[in-house]
Chains A and B, each alone.
Chain A
Amino acid sequence: MKKVSIDPVTRLEGHGKIEIFLNDDGSVANAYLQIPELRGFEKFAEGRPVEELPRITPRICGVCPEAHMMASAKACDAVYHVELPSTAKKLRELQYSAFYIGDHTTHFYALGGPDFVMGPDADPAVRNIIGVIGKVGVEIGKQVIQCRIWCHEVAKILGGKPVTPINAIPGGMSKGLNAEEAARVREIADFCVGFAEFTLKIVHDVVLANKAYVDLILSDPYTHATYNMGLVDENNHTNFYDGKVRVVGPDGKEHCKYEPKDYLNWVAEHVEPWSYLKFPFLKQIGWKGFTDGLDSGVYKATPLSRINTSDGMATPKAQEAYEEFYDVLTGDRSGKKKVNQTLATHWARVVEIMYAAERFRELAYDEEITGPNFRVIPTEKPDEGVGIVEAPRGTLTHHYWTDERGIVKKANLIVGTTNNNAPIAMSIKKAAQGLIRAGREITEPMLNMIEMAFRAYDPCFGCATHSLPGKMPLVVTLRDQSTGEVIRRIERL
C-alpha cells in the first residue's frame, strides 16, 4: 500500500468530512472522519479565576453542557480540596441522571433509531424521526418530547435555566431543593422510569424481533475488539457522575482501574499529520496504529464500553436489561464475555436510559435532597485538580492547574468524543472496505451504512449545534492513495 500524507492546508473545516483513500485497484486503503474542533479553550481559560470555569465550560459544547459543568465543578472541588456534603453530591447526580435520560433519548429516537426502525437502506426522506413517528405512532413522538421537556425542567428547577445550567459550583450547588420542587422532581422521575421501560420494549419489538437487524449488529464490518473505558462505583457498576475509571480488554480482563487524578499515567494522545484531532490511547500498551486487539492501545469510551467495563448495573430493571443484552449477543447473561459490535452501542444506550431513570428516581425519593447542606465554602489553598464524569458520548476529563490565588495557569481537557477518534476512524474504514469495491457504484444506502459506523458513537461537534440552516453537509471524498488526487466527491446536503 502506498503511503500518502495530506498537506495541512488542504484540511477542510466547518463540516464533517469523510476521506476515503483508494488503492490502484479501487479498493479502500484508508478512511477517516474529520470533524471541526474548537480552538484555543486552554488559552482562553488561562488567567481566569478557576471558579469561573464551571460557568464557562458548558459553553464548549451545546450537546452536553451539563457534562462539562459537572466535570469542571469536580475539578474545582479537587483544586480547592473540598469534600462535598452528601446532599450536594446527590443533587448533582440527580440533575446529571435527568440530563442523561434526555440526551440518550434524543439519540435513540431521532438519530440512531431510524436506521433500525425504518431500515438502513430506507429512503432518506423517511429514515429519520418523522419516519419513526409514522411507523410506531404519534403518541410515541409526544412521549419523547415530553420526556425531553421534563428532563430540562429538572435542570431549570435546580439550576434556574433549562439549558446550559451553571449551578454546580466549587464545594457543591448554588441552590437546594424545597419540598414543593422535590415533589415535582419525583413526578418527573416516575414518568422517566415508565418511559425507559417503554423504550426497552421498542428495542424488543422493533429491533430484536427482526433477525436481519440482529445480524447487522453482529456483522463483521461493525466489529472492533478494542479496550473499553468507563467510570465504575465500588462494586464495579456503571456510574455516570463519580467513581474510578476502569479499563477492560475485549477479552473481559481488567487492564486498569484508577482514580481520576492519575489519568495521565494511563492515557496519552497520539497526533497524526492529516488531522487536527488527537487520538487518545492507553499509555501502558502504546500506540500501535489504527488497529484493535489486546496489543493495541486503542480504546472506546461509549455506552457500549461503559456496559463492558461494568460487572452489572446498580439498579434492578437496568440489571435485567444488562443480562438480556449479554444473553442475546454473547449467550452469557453474566456479562463476562464482552460485546465488541459497534452497533450494539444503540442498545447499550437504552440500557443506560433505564439505569439513569432508576437512579434518578432513587435520588428523587431520597429525603436528603431537600437538606440545607448543599454547599461548603472552600477554605484550602488551591493548586491542582482533576474532575472526571461520563459524558453520554464518553469519559470527560477536566484538569486544572492554578496559582495560590486560584487563577488558572493551565487547563487540559479530554472530551468524550475525542476518546473515540481512533475507533471512529477504524469503524469508518472497516465499513468502507466492506462496501466499496472497484468499479462498483456508490449508492445512498451504502453511504448511510458507512455513516452508521460513526453514528453509533454519537460524536458531538461542539461548535455546530445550532448554526443555520441547522444541518451538517457531509462530504465524502474519494482520493487516490498514492497522489491524494480527488477521484470523486459526494455531498449530501
Chain B
Amino acid sequence: MARTIIVGLGNDILSDDAAGIHVARRLAPLLKETRGVAVVEATVGGIRLIELLSGFDHAVIVDAIVRENEAPGTILRFTMCDFSPTTRTGALHDIDLPTALEMAMRIGMSIPHEIELIAIVASDVLTVSEEMCPEVEAAVNKVVSGLADRFASWSAGNRLK
C-alpha cells in the first residue's frame, strides 16, 4: 500500500516564507489518526529534501514561491515535469530538486514515484518576522483544508514511518 509524506517547507521567522511550515503545523493534528500519511515541517532543499522523502511512495511538498506576475496568496500546483534541472541552485550550497531526484535515482535511493508541489505565492520572504501577510495566511488555511479533506479518510494498510 502507498505511503505518503506531506512536507511543509519554509522558515518560520521569515515572513511569508513560513507558509509551508504553518501548513504542516496546522495539518499534522488533523491527520494524526490517518494511517500511511506522515506530515513533517522542514527548512531544507535539494539533497537534504530527497533524504527526507526517501522510503515514501508519494510526496506532497508545500512551499512559498516568489512570482513577479502572481498576486500574493495565489495557490499554484506543479509536478516535477514543470521544472527542468539546472546548474543553478536556490542556495549556492545545494542542488535543485530535479537534479537531486535524478541523482537519487542514479544511486538507487528509494524515492516517491509521485511528487506533487503546492506553492503559495509570497509577498515578502526577506524580512525577519513571524507574521505572514493576510493573503498568504488565508492561502495557508485553504491548503490545510484541502489536504485535510483529501487525506482524512485516506488510509493505507501499513504503519507510519
Contact = CB atoms under 8 A, between A and B. Distances in A.
A465 B88 contact: no
Interface string A467-485: 1111111100000000000
B109 A466 contact: no
B69 interface: no
A463 interface: yes
B149 interface: no
A468 B128 contact: no
4 interchain residue pairs of minimum CB distance: A466-B45, A141-B107, A471-B96, A470-B97
A103 B47 CA distance: 11
B90 A467 contact: yes
Contact of A472 (B49, B91, B107, B129): B91
17 contacts: A39-B127, A59-B12, A110-B47, A111-B93, A125-B85, A138-B108, A448-B87, A465-B93, A466-B43, A466-B63, A466-B90, A467-B17, A469-B83, A470-B83, A471-B88, A472-B89, A492-B86
Given A467-B17, A469-B97, 8 more contacts: A37-B126, A60-B13, A111-B89, A133-B103, A133-B106, A460-B92, A472-B89, A472-B90
Contact of A474 (B63, B66, B88, B100): B88
A475 to B, nearest CB: 10
A477 to B, nearest CB: 16
Nearest to B12: A59
A130 interface: yes
A47 interface: no
A39 B126 CA distance: 6
Contact of B11 (A62, A107, A470): A62
A145 B10 contact: no
B136 to A, nearest CB: 13
Contacts, number: 185
Interface in A119-133: 124-125, 127-130, 133
A445 B14 CA distance: 36
Interface string B18-51: 0000000000000000000000001111111101
A41 B14 CA distance: 10
B154 interface: no
A40 B88 contact: no
B51 A152 contact: yes
Contact of A44 (B13, B17, B44, B125): B13
Contacts of A460: 91-93
B70 interface: no
B107 A63 contact: no
B59 interface: no
A6 to B, nearest CB: 19
A370 to B, nearest CB: 28
Contacts of A62: 11, 43-45, 91
Contacts of A429: none
A163 B95 contact: no
A62 B87 CA distance: 20
Interface of B: 9-14, 17, 42-49, 51, 61, 63-66, 78, 82-83, 85-100, 102-104, 106-109, 117, 119, 125-129
A487 interface: no
A127 B85 CA distance: 12
A461 interface: yes
B91 A148 contact: no
Contacts of A38: 14, 126-128
Contacts of A43: 128
Nearest to B119: A468
Contact of A106 (B13, B43, B78, B93): B93
B63 A44 contact: no
Nearest to A454: B92
B107 A106 contact: no
A176 interface: no
A136 B88 CA distance: 22
Nearest to B51: A149
A141 B91 CA distance: 21
Contact of B102 (A107, A130, A473): A130
B124 to A, nearest CB: 9
Contacts of B96: 469-471
B87 A127 contact: yes
Centre residue among B47, B64, B83, B90 by max chain A CB count within 10 A:
B90
A41 B126 CA distance: 10
B109 A59 contact: no
A171 interface: no
Interface string A12-48: 0110100000000000000000001111110110000
B88 A492 contact: yes
Given A148-B51, A163-B43, A463 B95 contact: no
Interface in A92-135: 103, 106-107, 110-111, 124-125, 127-130, 133-134
Contacts of B48: 148, 152, 163
A36 B124 CA distance: 12
Nearest to B76: A468
Contact of B17 (A13, A124, A134, A463): A463
A142 B108 contact: yes
A351 to B, nearest CB: 19
A43 to B, nearest CB: 8
A223 interface: no
A62 B63 CA distance: 14
Contacts of B49: 466, 470
Contacts of A59: 11-14, 43
A124 B61 CA distance: 27
Contacts of A16: 92
B87 A163 contact: no
Interface string A426-449: 000000000000000000000010
B87 to A, nearest CB: 5
Contacts of B9: 466
Contacts of A63: 91, 93-94
